[in-house]
Amino acid sequence: MKEPTTEIEIETSAVATILPPPLPPTASPHQALVERLKDYGQEDVFSLWDELSPEERDLLLRDIENLDLPRIDRIIRCSLHSQGLPVAAIEPVPENCVSTVEERTKEDREKWWKMGLKAIYEGKLGVVLLSGGQGTRLGSSDPKGCYNIGLPSGKSLFQIQAERILCVQRLASQAMSEASPTRPVTIQWYIMTSPFTHEPTQKFFKSHKYFGLEPDQVTFFQQGTLPCISKDGKFIMETPFSLSKAPDGNGGVYTALKSSRLLEDMASRGIKYVDCYGVDNVLVRVADPTFLGYFIDKSAASAAKVVRKAYPQEKVGVFVRRGKGGPLTVVEYTELDQSMASATNQQTGRLQYCWSNVCLHMFTLDFLNQVANGLEKDSVYHLAEKKIPSINGDIVGLKLEQFIFDCFPYAPSTALFEVLREEEFAPVKNANGSNYDTPESARLLVLRLHTRWVIAAGGFLTHSVPLYATGVEVSPLCSYAGENLEAICRGRTFHAPCEISL
């Protein structure tokens, strides 16, 4: 006679063989998630659910569950209905808010230079680089900072900027050696990438041994992304199982610094001031001691380098004052009507709205903390109309972005510092053959400026092509802004094009 337990096992086994196979765990989207998306009018993301494989369904669910839906919905609604600043609320920047080139004395420049070098020596300056963009418009899929604009040295934008940091560190150490024992000076460099540039940027730095910097003084962090939307606020699907997303603009740096806990990192290192700039300006004076000294001297919360508009209708954003006694802010050229853009200050002869924003900023760390909290609550983003990849091919849609200058309305005080275009602004945005802001135009601006430095230092040039098309490049390791070149250049002849290096 068989044991009862054995019989039970046999019967159970027999029943199991005739049960149907279990359904896939994601056979239908979770009803609670569907209802949540309906609340925000985004349930169309599931329109192709029945055509997806189990793996694709999982990918779509994960993509949606990673979204902060209440925040994104608030951003979409507020941004679509925002009207921007009314023209009546815009006034010219007061003259006393700007340090112009012509009013700056030699004594001012020397004082600010020394103040800046002292603060750098004391470790009070950190540098933030905005480097989330790819070189797509330049014909490259690499991060824009990897781009070589064709200088004699063949250096990338990243290398040029790293070497400027090395130069400032050396200058600060030398300047303070008389007052205190010489010691190494380190400037922390925080580099903001995007999901598209993060890994290749890190690899580029590692493969070039951080261009002479210490690896631990360079920190990489990623900006956030937001879904791309149609003009009626619906999510655009890049594939049937993924949303089309884009980086949240260079103003995403504030939230990214906070979420990465890098504001805390800066505080722990004793950093009090933060220099912030964009990667695509080959003439940028990274960690500029003069600008830093001016900023400290003015006791401002924020500051910006500005250049004068070249002509009234130039397509650049300009600084304005928001209402009587209000804060300074930046408006796009489209927000100024023709009469405002052409209006002239009768006392100075300058355009009333002449101070162009060129993404060269300085902030106190305290203010950055304030901005990170303020912008996190501010739901109005800029809407950029772009071609967006979708299931139906590229379509015209909207990217949601914050801009670096969105911080200025929060500032209790902002100081503007005029610089000359030909000395500090050589943008690299468009491919050669375009009308402006090309690698070729930037290369020539560098060569012309450095040629002037060499001639001023007593050097001579020979050239086999017209001088307007060539020149010399001075390595940042030799000179930061034209200083200390006499020993290298006086009485020497250089054949252009060439690089002058140590």
Amino acid at site 46: F
Query: Best-predicted range by mean pLDDT among 125-139, 263-277, 339-353?
Result: 263-277
Every domain range in the chain assigned CATH 2.10.10: 437-502
> To the nearest 10°, the Cα dihedral for 323, 324, 330, 333?
70
417-449 residue pLDDT tens: 999 999 999 999 999 999 999 999 999 999 999
358-388 CB burial, b ≥16 within 10 A, e <16: bbbbbbbbebbbbbbeebeeebbbbbeeeeb
CATH of 437-502, one of 2.10.10, 1.10.3470, 2.60.40, 1.20.1630: 2.10.10
368-398 residue pLDDT tens: 999 998 887 777 899 999 999 999 999 999 9
Which pLDDT score is estimated for 13? 33
Report how far residue 284's alpha carbon sits from residue 481's, in angstroms, rounded to the nearest whole number: 10
Every domain range in the chain assigned CATH 3.90.550.10: 87-429
Q: How many CB atoms lie within 10 A of CB 396?
A: 10
308-331 residue pLDDT tens: 999 999 989 999 998 888 899 999
Residue 270 has pLDDT above 50, yes or no: yes
- Known binding residue 373? Answer is no
CA separation, residue 215 to residues 22, 83, 205 (Å): 53, 45, 9
- Known binding residue 250? Answer is yes
Name the CATH superfamily, with its identifier, for domain 87-429.
Spore Coat Polysaccharide Biosynthesis Protein SpsA; Chain A (3.90.550.10)
- Confidence band (pLDDT; 50, 70, 90) for 28? low
192-241 residue pLDDT tens: 999 999 999 999 999 999 999 999 999 999 999 999 999 999 999 999 99
